[in-house]
């Protein structure tokens, strides 16, 4: 028997029902974001190799797909690979996220954009992941970003828009975990970690959900044993609250979860965010402070977010403030903050609503019905706003009708020669 023909590892085909689910989710997300005043943009799927490897993408840069320059010979490829000199081979690469392209886009078009630019990007990205459940080499990201607003209003707008999108997708039980990078660095300094070790230490703290407090402390001992013990005490102090109802985003609750005097700027920022969002989120979405939230991207400079849902073992969204990225292209600082819904994880959690709008009708016709009559019937029904499909009659009608019902058709009609118009059709309900 021939081997099945599959798509490349880490990439997927989508059957009609799956595609319908995805398009429904995209429509909801896009509609909510537009209603909140964001404008959709589009960028190329490729960017310059140097830009994709400029240190803006964190660890994702290591997972980027590079595109060979034209005319590279097998001999040149082998020689460059042996020397590890990729830049002599590639001048372009597939985008691994939508943030790096956005910063380039803003730098290119800044003169044509408003002072505060609210962007929607919903598009596929590519990473050379090791394929596994929930991790793919091609996947869709759904991002909103605000560039040019330095104040807390940007974070407020992002959280309210994202929370409404999650609610309208039907994802009850979402928790938006919030932290501030300044709090993280303040905690590290309080525990005694030297500034030059902070990035290494945060990589370890970010593993807390996988290796637990004891595992984090053990790894941190390799950086500074005394500081590791003090960090362990902090983590043990907040662990019960994080495992329970979480820590409310209020000044008193945030201060109680942290050592006295740690990262006052970050505490004030999050307390103000919690106050601004009090009572503003839809039912089914909660806001919580998590002092252990790191987010892997090194470009975050302030507030960071991550969305948890009980139906997913991984986050279903995240983002944060990245004030330094745009300035890398413009030579001057430009404030920026973004929030991304993890589309591939979200789409697996939602259920499609009952079909609304135009009715979907299957015209089951005999083989001898003239094509002109079929076309005329279909044109008339489509003109009335219906979705119409022609299906040739089969011996096993039960199987045919079950299939078209599963594909979203709600009624059917038998078509025989001589039907003069759609009003003569006897439309019957299809069992769902």
pLDDT at residue 2, as a whole number: 47
* Region for residue 38 given its phi and psi (left: phi exceeds 0; alpha: psi -120 to 50; beta: otherwise): beta
Q: Does the structure show a pLDDT above 90 at 46? A: yes
What angle do the packed helices 225-243 and 181-191 form, to 10 degrees?
Answer: 130
pLDDT at residue 84, as a whole number: 65
Q: Which residue has the higher pLDDT, 117 or 84?
A: 117
pLDDT at residue 73, as a whole number: 75
* Region for residue 148 given its phi and psi (left: phi exceeds 0; alpha: psi -120 to 50; beta: otherwise): left
Q: Average pLDDT of 39-48?
A: 96
Query: 289-328 pLDDT, tens per residue?
Result: 999 899 876 678 899 999 999 988 788 999 999 998 888 7
Residues 6+ apart with CB under 8 A from 320: 181, 295, 297, 300, 301, 302, 303, 304, 305, 337, 338
Q: Express as a percent the part of the chain with pLDDT over 90.
A: 58
CB 224, CB 238: distance < 8 Å: no
Pairing of strands 360-365, 247-248: unpaired
44-53, 80-89, 310-319: the lowest-pLDDT one: 80-89
Q: Average pLDDT of 335-353?
A: 89
pLDDT at residue 329, as a whole number: 77
pLDDT at residue 113, as a whole number: 95
Arithmetic mean of pLDDT over the chain: 88
Q: Express as a percent the part of the chain with pLDDT over 70.
A: 94
Query: What is the distance of C-alpha 325 from the center of its chain?
Result: 20
CB 140, CB 344: distance < 8 Å: yes
Closest CA to 287 of 180, 177, 181: 177
pLDDT at residue 297, as a whole number: 65
Q: How many CB atoms lie within 10 A of CB 190?
A: 18
How far is residue 354's CA from residue 173's CA, in Å, rounded to a whole number? 22
Q: Does the structure show a pLDDT above 90 at 338? A: yes
Q: What is the pTM of this model?
A: 0.87
pLDDT at residue 1, as a whole number: 44
pLDDT at residue 56, as a whole number: 67
CA-based R_g, the chain, Å: 27
Q: Does the structure show a pLDDT above 80 at 282? A: yes
Instruction: Name the pLDDT band for 168 (thresholds 50, 70, 90).
Output: very high
Instruction: Name the pLDDT band for 98 (thresholds 50, 70, 90).
Output: very high
How far is residue 173's CA from residue 176's CA, in Å, rounded to a whole number? 10
Query: 186-214 pLDDT, tens per residue?
Result: 999 999 999 999 988 998 998 888 898 99
Query: 117-139 pLDDT, tens per residue?
Result: 999 999 999 998 888 777 899 99
pLDDT at residue 87, as a whole number: 65
Q: Does the structure show a pLDDT above 60 at 392? A: yes
CB 182, CB 190: distance < 8 Å: no
Instruction: Name the pLDDT band for 263 (thresholds 50, 70, 90).
Output: low
How far is residue 257's CA from residue 327's CA, in Å, rounded to a whole number? 34
How far is residue 292's CA from residue 306's CA, in Å, rounded to a whole number? 11
- Element containing residue 415 per DSSP (H, E): strand 411-415
Q: Average pLDDT of 338-349?
A: 92
Instruction: Give Cα separations from 343 to 135, 136, 169, 266, 354 (angstroms).
Output: 12, 12, 11, 29, 21
Q: Characterize 98-133 residue by residue with b for buried, 16 or more Cβ atoms within 10 angstroms of its Cβ, and e for exposed.
A: bbbbbbbbbbeebeebeeebbbbbbbebbbebeeee
Instruction: Name the pLDDT band for 81 (thresholds 50, 70, 90).
Output: low
pLDDT at residue 76, as a whole number: 75
Q: Does the structure show a pLDDT above 90 at 142? A: yes
CB 309, CB 169: distance < 8 Å: no
Q: Which domains does the chain have, with CATH numbers?
A: 174-308 (3.30.930.10), 360-429 (no CATH)
Q: Average pLDDT of 46-68?
A: 82
């Amino acid at each position: 028997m021939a081997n099945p023909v599959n798509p490349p590892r880490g990439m997927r085909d989508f059957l009609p029902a799956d595609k319908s689910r995805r398009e429904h989710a995209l429509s909801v997300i896009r509609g909510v974001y537009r209603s909140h005043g964001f404008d959709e943009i589009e960028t190329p799927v490729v960017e310059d190799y140097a830009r994709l490897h400029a240190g803006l993408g964190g660890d994702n840069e290591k997972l980027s797909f590079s595109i060979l320059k034209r005319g590279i010979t097998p001999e040149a490829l082998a020689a460059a690979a042996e020397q590890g000199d990729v830049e002599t081979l590639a001048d372009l690469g597939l985008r691994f996220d939508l943030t790096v392209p956005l910063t380039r886009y803003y730098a290119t078009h800044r003169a044509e954009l408003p002072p505060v630019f609210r962007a929607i990007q919903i598009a596929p990205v590519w990473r050379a992941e090791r394929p596994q459940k929930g991790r793919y080499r091609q996947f869709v990201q759904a991002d909103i970003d605000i560039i040019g607003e330095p104040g807390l209003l940007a974070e407020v707008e992002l959280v309210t828009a994202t929370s409404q999108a999650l609610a309208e997708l039907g994802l009850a039980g979402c928790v938006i975990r919030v932290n501030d990078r300044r709090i993280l660095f303040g905690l590290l300094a309080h525990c005694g970690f030297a500034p030059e070790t902070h990035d290494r230490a945060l990589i370890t703290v970010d593993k807390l959900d996988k290796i637990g407090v004891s595992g984090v402390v053990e790894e941190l001992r390799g950086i500074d044993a005394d500081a590791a013990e003090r960090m362990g005490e902090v983590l043990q102090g907040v662990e019960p609250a994080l495992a329970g109802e979480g820590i409310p985003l209020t000044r008193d609750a945030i201060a109680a979860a942290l050592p006295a005097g740690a990262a006052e700027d970050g505490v004030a920022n999050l307390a103000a965010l919690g106050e601004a969002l009090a009572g503003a989120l839809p039912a089914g979405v909660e806001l919580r402070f998590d002092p252990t939230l790191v987010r892997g991207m090194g470009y975050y400079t302030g507030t960071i977010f991550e969305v948890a849902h009980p139906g997913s073992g991984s986050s279903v969204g995240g983002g944060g403030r990245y004030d330094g990225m745009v300035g890398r292209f413009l030579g001057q600082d430009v404030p920026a903050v973004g929030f991304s819904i993890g589309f591939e994880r979200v789409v697996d959690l939602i259920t499609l609503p009952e079909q609304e709008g135009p009715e979907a009708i299957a015209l089951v016709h005999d083989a001898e019905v003239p094509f002109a009559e079929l076309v005329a019937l279909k044109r008339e029904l489509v003109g009335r706003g219906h979705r119409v499909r022609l299906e040739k009659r089969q011996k096993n009608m039960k199987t045919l009708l079950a299939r078209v019902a599963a594909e979203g058709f709600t009624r059917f009609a038998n078509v025989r020669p001589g039907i003069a118009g759609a009003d003569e059709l006897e439309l019957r309900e299809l069992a769902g």
